[in-house]
Amino acid sequence: MTDRDYFTADTHFNHGMIIKYSGRELFMTPEDLESYEAMRATGDQQAYMDWRPSAKSRENMDEAMIENINAVVPADATLWHLGDFVFAKRAPETVKYRDAINCKDIRLIWGNHDRRKTYLPGVFQAYYESTMIYVFNDVTLTEAQVQACGSLRKKLRRALSKKNVQPIMLSHYAHATWMGSYKGWFQLYGHSHGGLQKFMDEHMPNALSMDIGVDCNNFMPLSFSQIVDILGQKRQDKPKHVIDHHGVWTFPPKRVVSGDLT
Ligand SMILES: [Fe+2]
Protein backbone atom coordinates (compact mmCIF):
# COMPACT_ATOMS: atom_id res chain seq x y z
CA MET A 1 0.00 0.00 0.00
CA THR A 2 1.32 3.44 -0.89
CA ASP A 3 1.47 5.70 2.11
CA ARG A 4 -0.90 8.61 2.07
CA ASP A 5 -0.27 10.02 5.54
CA TYR A 6 2.97 11.19 7.14
CA PHE A 7 3.62 12.52 10.64
CA THR A 8 6.13 14.79 12.30
CA ALA A 9 6.39 17.41 15.08
CA ASP A 10 8.63 19.95 16.75
CA THR A 11 10.64 21.05 13.76
CA HIS A 12 11.08 24.47 15.39
CA PHE A 13 12.20 26.01 12.13
CA ASN A 14 13.97 29.35 12.60
CA HIS A 15 14.62 28.58 16.28
CA GLY A 16 18.36 28.61 16.83
CA MET A 17 18.20 27.99 20.56
CA ILE A 18 16.42 24.65 20.11
CA ILE A 19 19.81 23.41 18.91
CA LYS A 20 21.02 23.89 22.48
CA TYR A 21 17.82 22.94 24.30
CA SER A 22 17.40 19.66 22.39
CA GLY A 23 21.08 18.94 21.83
CA ARG A 24 20.84 19.02 18.04
CA GLU A 25 24.61 18.69 17.67
CA LEU A 26 24.18 17.19 14.21
CA PHE A 27 23.57 20.64 12.75
CA MET A 28 26.27 22.59 14.59
CA THR A 29 29.13 24.11 12.67
CA PRO A 30 32.53 22.71 13.73
CA GLU A 31 33.20 25.93 15.64
CA ASP A 32 29.84 25.76 17.43
CA LEU A 33 30.33 22.09 18.28
CA GLU A 34 33.76 22.78 19.73
CA SER A 35 32.51 25.62 21.94
CA TYR A 36 29.37 23.62 22.86
CA GLU A 37 31.42 20.67 24.06
CA ALA A 38 33.77 22.98 25.96
CA MET A 39 30.74 24.61 27.61
CA ARG A 40 29.31 21.19 28.57
CA ALA A 41 32.65 20.15 30.02
CA THR A 42 32.59 23.05 32.45
CA GLY A 43 29.29 21.84 33.96
CA ASP A 44 28.62 25.49 34.71
CA GLN A 45 25.02 26.65 34.69
CA GLN A 46 25.88 30.20 33.67
CA ALA A 47 28.04 28.95 30.80
CA TYR A 48 25.04 26.94 29.60
CA MET A 49 22.79 29.96 29.88
CA ASP A 50 25.22 32.11 27.92
CA TRP A 51 25.97 29.71 25.07
CA ARG A 52 24.22 30.43 21.77
CA PRO A 53 24.50 28.66 18.42
CA SER A 54 25.47 30.64 15.34
CA ALA A 55 23.04 31.61 12.59
CA LYS A 56 24.87 29.17 10.32
CA SER A 57 24.02 26.23 12.61
CA ARG A 58 20.36 27.28 12.53
CA GLU A 59 20.46 27.47 8.75
CA ASN A 60 22.01 23.99 8.65
CA MET A 61 19.16 22.67 10.81
CA ASP A 62 16.42 24.33 8.77
CA GLU A 63 17.84 23.21 5.42
CA ALA A 64 18.40 19.63 6.56
CA MET A 65 14.88 19.17 7.93
CA ILE A 66 13.31 20.73 4.83
CA GLU A 67 15.38 18.35 2.69
CA ASN A 68 14.32 15.40 4.84
CA ILE A 69 10.62 16.23 4.53
CA ASN A 70 10.83 16.76 0.79
CA ALA A 71 12.79 13.54 0.34
CA VAL A 72 10.21 11.44 2.19
CA VAL A 73 6.78 13.04 1.84
CA PRO A 74 5.26 12.98 -1.67
CA ALA A 75 3.76 16.22 -2.90
CA ASP A 76 0.29 14.66 -3.07
CA ALA A 77 0.41 13.07 0.40
CA THR A 78 -0.84 14.56 3.66
CA LEU A 79 1.67 15.69 6.26
CA TRP A 80 0.27 15.88 9.77
CA HIS A 81 2.50 18.29 11.72
CA LEU A 82 1.88 17.91 15.45
CA GLY A 83 2.93 21.38 16.45
CA ASP A 84 5.84 23.77 16.99
CA PHE A 85 6.35 24.16 13.26
CA VAL A 86 8.27 27.43 13.33
CA PHE A 87 9.45 30.21 15.58
CA ALA A 88 8.09 33.27 13.82
CA LYS A 89 7.07 36.75 14.84
CA ARG A 90 5.48 37.62 11.52
CA ALA A 91 3.46 35.70 8.96
CA PRO A 92 6.04 35.92 6.11
CA GLU A 93 8.50 33.87 8.18
CA THR A 94 5.94 31.09 8.60
CA VAL A 95 5.01 31.26 4.93
CA LYS A 96 8.67 31.04 3.90
CA TYR A 97 9.15 27.70 5.67
CA ARG A 98 5.79 26.32 4.61
CA ASP A 99 6.50 27.18 0.97
CA ALA A 100 9.84 25.38 1.11
CA ILE A 101 7.97 22.11 1.69
CA ASN A 102 6.72 20.44 -1.48
CA CYS A 103 3.80 18.63 0.14
CA LYS A 104 0.63 20.49 -0.77
CA ASP A 105 -1.54 19.24 2.09
CA ILE A 106 -0.07 20.02 5.51
CA ARG A 107 -2.38 19.86 8.53
CA LEU A 108 -1.19 21.55 11.72
CA ILE A 109 -2.04 20.47 15.25
CA TRP A 110 -1.34 23.60 17.28
CA GLY A 111 1.78 23.50 19.43
CA ASN A 112 2.50 25.82 22.31
CA HIS A 113 5.15 27.68 20.30
CA ASP A 114 2.99 28.25 17.23
CA ARG A 115 2.03 31.93 17.18
CA ARG A 116 -1.40 31.69 15.67
CA LYS A 117 -1.40 35.16 14.17
CA THR A 118 1.50 34.11 11.93
CA TYR A 119 -0.50 31.24 10.42
CA LEU A 120 -2.66 32.85 7.76
CA PRO A 121 -5.78 31.02 6.54
CA GLY A 122 -4.89 28.75 3.66
CA VAL A 123 -1.17 28.55 4.44
CA PHE A 124 -1.88 25.13 5.89
CA GLN A 125 -4.79 23.01 4.73
CA ALA A 126 -6.32 22.81 8.21
CA TYR A 127 -5.63 23.57 11.87
CA TYR A 128 -6.67 21.52 14.89
CA GLU A 129 -6.37 21.70 18.67
CA SER A 130 -6.20 17.93 18.50
CA THR A 131 -8.11 15.39 16.47
CA MET A 132 -8.82 11.74 16.04
CA ILE A 133 -8.18 10.52 12.52
CA TYR A 134 -9.32 7.24 10.97
CA VAL A 135 -7.00 5.75 8.39
CA PHE A 136 -8.91 3.47 6.02
CA ASN A 137 -7.44 1.62 3.07
CA ASP A 138 -8.65 4.24 0.64
CA VAL A 139 -9.27 7.41 2.64
CA THR A 140 -8.34 9.16 5.87
CA LEU A 141 -11.12 10.90 7.78
CA THR A 142 -10.97 13.29 10.71
CA GLU A 143 -13.30 13.04 13.69
CA ALA A 144 -15.15 16.17 12.49
CA GLN A 145 -15.78 14.60 9.08
CA VAL A 146 -17.10 11.44 10.67
CA GLN A 147 -19.34 13.35 13.06
CA ALA A 148 -20.69 15.56 10.28
CA CYS A 149 -22.01 12.71 8.19
CA GLY A 150 -24.31 9.98 9.41
CA SER A 151 -23.44 7.61 6.60
CA LEU A 152 -19.73 7.96 7.37
CA ARG A 153 -20.41 7.01 10.98
CA LYS A 154 -22.09 3.83 9.80
CA LYS A 155 -19.18 3.11 7.46
CA LEU A 156 -16.75 3.74 10.30
CA ARG A 157 -18.56 1.38 12.65
CA ARG A 158 -18.58 -1.34 9.98
CA ALA A 159 -14.89 -0.81 9.26
CA LEU A 160 -13.98 -0.85 12.94
CA SER A 161 -15.80 -4.12 13.40
CA LYS A 162 -13.78 -5.59 10.52
CA LYS A 163 -10.57 -3.93 11.79
CA ASN A 164 -9.64 -2.46 8.43
CA VAL A 165 -9.26 1.03 9.84
CA GLN A 166 -6.67 2.41 12.25
CA PRO A 167 -7.82 5.21 14.54
CA ILE A 168 -5.05 7.58 15.67
CA MET A 169 -5.35 10.45 18.11
CA LEU A 170 -3.16 13.40 17.16
CA SER A 171 -2.18 15.96 19.79
CA HIS A 172 0.78 18.18 20.52
CA TYR A 173 0.83 16.74 24.03
CA ALA A 174 1.13 13.17 25.29
CA HIS A 175 -1.94 11.72 26.96
CA ALA A 176 -2.39 9.02 29.58
CA THR A 177 -5.64 7.84 28.03
CA TRP A 178 -7.49 8.66 24.81
CA MET A 179 -10.43 7.29 22.87
CA GLY A 180 -9.79 3.61 22.27
CA SER A 181 -6.44 3.59 24.08
CA TYR A 182 -7.34 0.32 25.79
CA LYS A 183 -8.21 -1.48 22.58
CA GLY A 184 -5.42 -0.73 20.17
CA TRP A 185 -6.07 2.81 18.99
CA PHE A 186 -2.88 4.84 18.62
CA GLN A 187 -1.82 8.25 19.92
CA LEU A 188 0.93 10.37 18.38
CA TYR A 189 2.35 13.41 20.15
CA GLY A 190 5.19 15.90 20.19
CA HIS A 191 6.13 18.65 22.66
CA SER A 192 8.48 16.57 24.82
CA HIS A 193 11.39 16.29 22.38
CA GLY A 194 12.10 12.78 23.68
CA GLY A 195 12.19 13.89 27.31
CA LEU A 196 9.11 11.87 28.27
CA GLN A 197 10.44 8.48 27.20
CA LYS A 198 11.78 7.41 30.60
CA PHE A 199 8.45 8.21 32.24
CA MET A 200 6.53 6.37 29.54
CA ASP A 201 8.77 3.31 29.80
CA GLU A 202 8.34 3.21 33.58
CA HIS A 203 4.68 4.12 33.95
CA MET A 204 2.96 3.43 30.61
CA PRO A 205 4.95 0.59 29.03
CA ASN A 206 1.94 -0.78 27.15
CA ALA A 207 0.65 2.52 25.74
CA LEU A 208 0.29 2.47 21.97
CA SER A 209 1.61 6.00 21.69
CA MET A 210 4.85 7.59 20.58
CA ASP A 211 6.69 10.88 20.37
CA ILE A 212 6.62 11.68 16.68
CA GLY A 213 8.88 14.70 17.07
CA VAL A 214 11.96 15.08 14.90
CA ASP A 215 14.34 14.72 17.86
CA CYS A 216 13.14 11.14 18.36
CA ASN A 217 13.08 10.16 14.70
CA ASN A 218 16.35 11.20 13.09
CA PHE A 219 14.81 14.53 12.08
CA MET A 220 12.58 12.71 9.61
CA PRO A 221 8.80 12.39 9.19
CA LEU A 222 7.39 8.88 9.63
CA SER A 223 4.85 7.32 7.32
CA PHE A 224 1.66 5.62 8.43
CA SER A 225 3.25 2.27 7.55
CA GLN A 226 6.21 2.98 9.78
CA ILE A 227 3.88 3.92 12.63
CA VAL A 228 1.95 0.68 12.17
CA ASP A 229 5.21 -1.29 12.14
CA ILE A 230 6.30 0.24 15.45
CA LEU A 231 3.04 0.44 17.39
CA GLY A 232 1.44 -2.57 15.70
CA GLN A 233 4.36 -4.71 16.86
CA LYS A 234 3.99 -3.31 20.36
CA ARG A 235 0.28 -4.17 20.24
CA GLN A 236 1.23 -7.79 19.52
CA ASP A 237 3.97 -8.00 22.14
CA LYS A 238 2.44 -6.18 25.09
CA PRO A 239 -0.71 -6.48 27.20
CA LYS A 240 -3.40 -3.90 26.54
CA HIS A 241 -2.93 -0.37 27.89
CA VAL A 242 -5.54 -0.49 30.66
CA ILE A 243 -4.94 2.09 33.40
CA ASP A 244 -8.46 3.21 34.28
CA HIS A 245 -11.89 1.58 34.14
CA HIS A 246 -11.89 1.39 30.32
CA GLY A 247 -11.21 -2.16 29.21
CA VAL A 248 -11.96 -3.55 32.67
CA TRP A 249 -15.04 -5.71 32.40
CA THR A 250 -16.60 -6.98 35.60
CA PHE A 251 -20.11 -7.97 36.53
CA PRO A 252 -21.72 -6.60 38.50
CA PRO A 253 -20.02 -3.26 37.68
CA LYS A 254 -17.80 -1.89 40.42
CA ARG A 255 -17.37 1.70 41.41
CA VAL A 256 -14.02 3.20 40.56
CA VAL A 257 -12.61 5.11 43.52
CA SER A 258 -9.24 6.86 43.33
CA GLY A 259 -8.08 4.60 40.53
CA ASP A 260 -8.68 1.42 42.56
CA LEU A 261 -9.90 -1.11 40.03
CA THR A 262 -9.76 -4.15 42.31
FE1 LIG B 1 8.55 21.74 20.69
The CATH code of the domain that includes 208 is 3.60.21.10
pLDDT of amino acid 137: 85
pLDDT of amino acid 257: 58
Q: Does the reported pTM lie above 0.85?
A: yes
Counting Cα atoms < 13 Å in the Cβ hemisphere of 68 gives 18
**pLDDT band at residue 150 using 50, 70 and 90 as cut-offs:** confident
What average pLDDT does this structure show over 96-114? 97
Residue 216 has pLDDT above 70, yes or no: yes
pLDDT of amino acid 119: 87
Q: Ligand 1: distance of its center to the CA of 172 in Å?
A: 9
Q: Ligand 1: distance of its center to the CA of 165 in Å?
A: 29
Run of H or E including 169: strand 165-171
Count up the domains in the chain and report the number: 1
If 0-12 CB within 10 Å is exposed, 13-18 middle and 19+ buried, where does residue 71 land? exposed
Question: Which range marks the domain in which residue 176 is found?
Answer: 5-261
pLDDT of amino acid 259: 56
Residue 28 has pLDDT above 80, yes or no: yes
Q: Ligand 1: distance of its center to the CA of 44 in Å?
A: 25
The β-bridge relationship of strands 186-189 and 209-211 is parallel
**pLDDT band at residue 60 using 50, 70 and 90 as cut-offs:** very high
Q: Ligand 1: distance of its center to the CA of 94 in Å?
A: 16
Q: Ligand 1: distance of its center to the CA of 83 in Å?
A: 7
Among the listed residues 20, 78, 24, 76, the one whose alpha carbon sits nearest the alpha carbon of residue 53: 20
What average pLDDT does this structure show over 96-123? 94
**Residues around ligand 1, an ion, CB closer than 5 A:** 10, 84
For residue 252, say if its preceding peptide bond is cis, omega within 30 degrees of 0: yes
Q: Ligand 1: distance of its center to the CA of 214 in Å?
A: 9
